[in-house]
Amino acid sequence: MRNDFAEVGTAIVAGTVDAEDKSLEVAADLGFPVAYGMTRADGDRIGAFWEERRDHIQPSEFILRQGGRVISSTYSSSPVGRMDPAETLSLLRFLEDARRRKESQSG
């Protein structure tokens, strides 16, 4: 499925509060970069929910345009409510098709 994201010009990156060694272990099977050592200040910058009890950031997911504008976001305060890869890919394909239609109409 990662190749499908690349076909629509999408890069995937992730961040975690985990230390470098744990992050490298997890990232080895993912096929995309994982930033490590995220802090509460990092979570605050993106508006994420910080869980005090376990001292970690809850899932906060974004789709950004190349210029950095957020076109979709998901915030969670539990393991429920994350972006589904297939649904996200469907949205990206829809947006790419719309962009191409608009370009062909204006050109």
**To which H or E segment does residue 6 belong?**
helix 2-7
**In the Cβ-directed half-sphere of 68, how many Cα atoms lie within 13 Å?**
1
Q: pLDDT (tens digit, 9 = 90+) per residue, 27-76?
A: 888 888 999 999 999 999 999 998 888 888 888 999 998 888 998 999 98
- Among residues 1, 9, 2, 6, the alpha carbon closest in space to that of 65 is found at 9
Q: Could you give the CA distance from residue 87 to residue 69 in angstroms, rounded to a whole number? A: 20
Domain assignments of the chain as residue spans, ordered by start: 2-106
Q: What is the CATH number of domain 2-106?
A: 3.40.30.10
Q: pLDDT (tens digit, 9 = 90+) per residue, 50-59?
A: 888 888 888 8
CA 93 to chain CA centroid, Å, is 16
78's tokens? 């539990």
Regarding pTM above 0.85, the answer is: no
Q: Could you give the CA distance from residue 32 to residue 27 in angstroms, rounded to a whole number? A: 7
